[in-house]
Chains A and B, each alone.
Chain A
Amino acid sequence: MSAMLLNKEKWPDFVGKLTGKKLWAPQGKGEEMRFAPVTEGEAPALEYGNTRVPPKQAVFPQTETMFRFQLGGEEVEVPEPEEETVLLGVRPCDARSMAIVDNLFGWEEDDPYYFKRRELVTLVGLACSEPGLNCFCTSVGGGPASTEGLDLLMTDLGEHYFLEAVTEKGEALLKEAGDLLEEAGDDKVKEKDKKIEESAGKIKRSVDHEGVPESLPGLWDDPLWQSVSASCLGCGTCTYLCPTCHCFDIQDEVEGFDARRCRMWDSCMFGEYTLHTSGHNPRPTRRERTRNRINHKYSYFVDKFDVIACVGCGRCINLCPVNIDIVEILRQVKEAI
């Protein structure tokens, strides 16, 4: 793995080298940051906490056309693959989430839409130097400079970005940047390590999940589910904004005689999610749904893919309108065990 330095002054040139690819970077202001296409010729500034909506939409768009057809027709047309895209400034937690979700979309058979995008996307990460109040990545297997899922990781060293390629795609990017970069010396490596350590130290919140995956199902009827879900509004904020949530709905939408089958994010927090046409609902209340959300992330997913489906980004905590706090729930779970 080669480590390089990029003088921040050359950042616009570095970005300039990426022309021909679609560039996405966090845009907007303050809290409302989200990944959006970069206007050509601009070099996005990368000073931000994290985007409100995770970059999962780059590989798993909120709405995606699966195929088009004519009503009454017998041919379907699958949309052409997107162009190559580079995501600049992805936080390690979000990149890690993609590595986690890969498991599911690749389980036994590949989801063609997901992986088509996944292949076309290069993730350029940016290590966290100022973790948010509700970040707890370090306790769920990540960290402010986790490289899992990334192609290239940048660390802000003040004057420079410290660049390390993680994958061949990342290497290729470095190669493309060519003479904009300089080799990073050992001192810089140390500086970077120190920075990361400092950053990790700033993370205040954590979950203790030891024994949780095995024990969670045993808490099926624990009163804690009633108490933590009582205030739940049943909205989709936590799941839509969760980088590892990956459930979707499939719908046919018709416009005159043109139609398409598309899929869109869905949320297990919605009552309709499991509702049978007969009216029967195996998860009839917010209690079962909240329980399922936690179980799925901290037990079922672990059971299937041996990894917790939570990267500790803190979005669900930040944006829950009624302060349902997954760290707090995990604390209670732990207590109940």
Chain B
Amino acid sequence: MDLDKLRETAAEVAGRDDVKYLIGWKKGSYGYRIAPAFVEDVEAAAELIFSPLCTANLATYLTLVEKLPLPRGQEPDDRKVALMVKGCDSRAVAQLLAEKGIHRDEVIVIGCPCPGMVDPDLLAEKYPETEEPAELKWSDDGFVIVRDGEETAVPRDELLAEKCRLCRYPNPVVSDIMLDDPVETWEPAEDEGVTEIEEKEVDGRWAYWQEQFSNCIRCYSCRNVCPLCYCQDCILDRLNPTWVNRSVNFSENTAFNIARAFHLAGRCIECGECERVCPANIPLGKLNRKLAREIRDKYGFEPGLEPEGEPFQASYKPDDPEDFIL
């Protein structure tokens, strides 16, 4: 993608009077890190980037802003938020629109067709991070790592993130401005991670998740990063009634994680952020992707494609599968 065009467009949008700020990506403080950038003025747009490191789904910031009580007489800030989105991120926007989590006139969606992101963990493991911020670029057949002026070409398959291997919508499904021509979509890979677990015996599956969930520290980063977990008052935080106890142990962690995944049934757009941010490296995406797969296969439904689509959890079809019913 042409970064100059990106910055130019961003500067133009961020400079508009009816725009509060533009959210994009910028280089992080070290290594391969990328930080969300909140661009309020034209100058700040110069630090924006779009690279194979921009895994973060910024759509979560649309609903994260706290609405503080306004002093009497003060009008709320109704200016728009501009948001840079990849294909997966745009599905979050579409789903938010469908759920009225945001309104169409509150956002300006800037679409970034996405050739695929790298897996940051894999990258750091194979090409250790250094203190200086590094750059990554796309090449025709993969990625190029630029560190200390030196370029290393890496084949796409070596570093492509799992969520991107599985991706079916690399191009934004909703946008106001497109920064580039659509990328050519690729054949999504088989979701081996999910299949592998499906193929285990029931006890094996339980043991697998028991190990995973035991590591959960309930930091709630999976929930907080999720663009579709935007209840101001999450039921899993609530004490009256208590769905999940505050104590951290396998039982509560399991209940928490099942409930979280279930609340995203028919809503998860598979951006993989929950899994990326988990400090305990729990493969949370598998839970979501399993449900998404079932919903796609059995119910013929995919969330986050139509800004005016009907919500899966609030609809039914008379011929929904019922082979599980006694």
Q: Do A and B bind each other?
A: yes
Chain A residues within 8 Å of B, Cβ to Cβ: 30-32, 34, 52-53, 62-63, 133-134, 204-205, 227, 230-231, 233-237, 240-241, 249, 251, 253, 262, 264-265, 267, 270-272, 284-286, 317, 319, 321-325, 327-328
A323: contacting residue among B29, B131, B237, CB under 8 A: B29
B221 on interface, CB distance cutoff 8 Å: yes
With contacts A204-B131, A233-B60, A264-B247 known, is A251 near B239, CB below 8 A? Answer: yes
User: What's the minimum C-beta distance from B306 to chain A, rounded to whole angstroms?
Assistant: 27
Query: What bracket does the count of chain B residues touching chain A fall in?
Result: 35 or more
Task: State the Cβ distance, A256 to closest chain B Cβ, in Å.
Answer: 14
Could you say which of A285, A319, A327, A328 contacts B279, with CB atoms under 8 Å apart? Answer: A319
Query: Are A231 and B217 in contact, with the CB atoms below 8 A?
Result: no
A31 to B33 CA separation, bound complex (whole angstroms): 16
Report chain A residues within 8 Å CB of B273.
321
B174 at the interface (CB under 8 A from A): no
Mark each residue of chain B from 258 to 289: 1 if its CB lies under 8 Å from any CB of chain A, else 0.
Answer: 00000000000000010011011100000000
**Given A133-B31, A264-B248, A267-B219, residue A321 in contact with residue B280 (CB < 8 A):** no
B61 contacts the other chain (CB 8 A):
yes
Interface centre among A241, A251, A322 (most CB of B within 10 A): A322
Tell whether, in the assembled complex, residue B224 and residue A284 are in contact, meaning their CB atoms are under 8 Å apart.
Answer: no
Q: Which residues of A contact B176 (CB under 8 A)?
A: none
Which residue of the partner chain A has the closest CB to B37? A231
Report if A235-B219 is in contact (Cβ < 8 Å); known contacts: A31-B121, A321-B277, A327-B29: yes
Q: Which residues of A contact B246 (CB under 8 A)?
A: 63, 249, 251, 253, 264
Interface residues, chain B, with chain A CB atoms under 8 Å away: 28-31, 33-36, 38, 56, 60-61, 64, 66, 68, 121, 125, 129-131, 215, 217-221, 223-225, 237, 239, 245-249, 273, 276-277, 279-281
How far is it, in angstroms, between the C-alpha of A13 and the C-alpha of B121 when the chains are bound? 37
Nearest CB of A to B182, in Å: 28
A contact residues around B218 at 8 Å (CB) = 236
Looking at the assembled complex, report how far the CB atom of B324 sits from the nearest CB atom of chain A, in whole angstroms: 30
A324 CA to B276 CA in the complex, in Å? 16
Q: How far is the CA of A233 from the CA of B219 in the complex (A)?
A: 11
Query: B29 near A328 (CB under 8 angstroms)?
Result: yes
Report chain A residues within 8 Å CB of B33.
323, 325
Of the candidates B221, B225, B248, the one having the most CB atoms from chain A within 10 angstroms of its own CB is: B221
Of A30, A240, A262, A270, the contact of B247 (CB 8 Å cutoff): A262
The distance from the CB of B148 to the nearest CB of chain A, in whole angstroms, is 14
